[in-house]
């Protein structure tokens, strides 16, 4: 018997594919197909462009969570860099 898995958890069987695939396609999430021993032999991937080409599993919720995290201004970043100790200084030769 073939079972459907999401996030490592069994979520249904092949008899439920029509309903489950529609739900996961709407959320742009993939579903694994495994045999009764749990061996993965396939994967359902919705036919949609990923939010991020480098992170295909990235969800809209994760993007919102990342955007809500506090950020630093450019001035704060430069200040932190100026205050850092450098054990291996790099000397850039002038082209004068």
What string of DSSP letters covers 5-66? Answer: EETTEEEEEGGGHHHHHHHHHHTT--EEEE-TT--EEEEE--SS--SBTTBTT--HHHHHHH
Query: What pTM, to 2 d.p., does this model score?
Result: 0.42
**Domain for residue 47, yes or no?**
yes
Say if residues 42 and 52 touch (Cβ distance below 8 Å): no
**Domain for residue 26, yes or no?**
yes
- pLDDT at residue 52, as a whole number: 80
**Domain for residue 63, yes or no?**
yes
**Domain for residue 89, yes or no?**
no
User: pLDDT of 18-68, one tens digit each?
Assistant: 788 788 888 778 888 888 888 888 888 777 677 787 887 788 888 899 899
**Domain for residue 64, yes or no?**
yes
- pLDDT at residue 95, as a whole number: 61
**Domain for residue 92, yes or no?**
no
Full domain range(s) for residue 48:
3-81
96 — pLDDT class (breaks 50, 70, 90): low
**Domain for residue 96, yes or no?**
no
């Amino acid at each position: 018997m073939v079972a459907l898995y999401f996030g490592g958890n069994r979520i249904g069987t092949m008899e439920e594919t029509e309903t489950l695939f529609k739900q996961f396609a709407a959320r742009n999430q993939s579903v694994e197909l495994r045999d009764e021993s749990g061996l993965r032999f396939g994967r359902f991937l919705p036919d949609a462009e990923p939010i991020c080409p480098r992170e295909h599993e990235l969800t809209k919720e994760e993007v919102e969570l990342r955007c809500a995290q506090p950020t630093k201004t450019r001035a704060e970043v430069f200040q932190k860099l100026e205050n850092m100790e450098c054990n291996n200084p790099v000397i850039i030769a002038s082209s004068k």
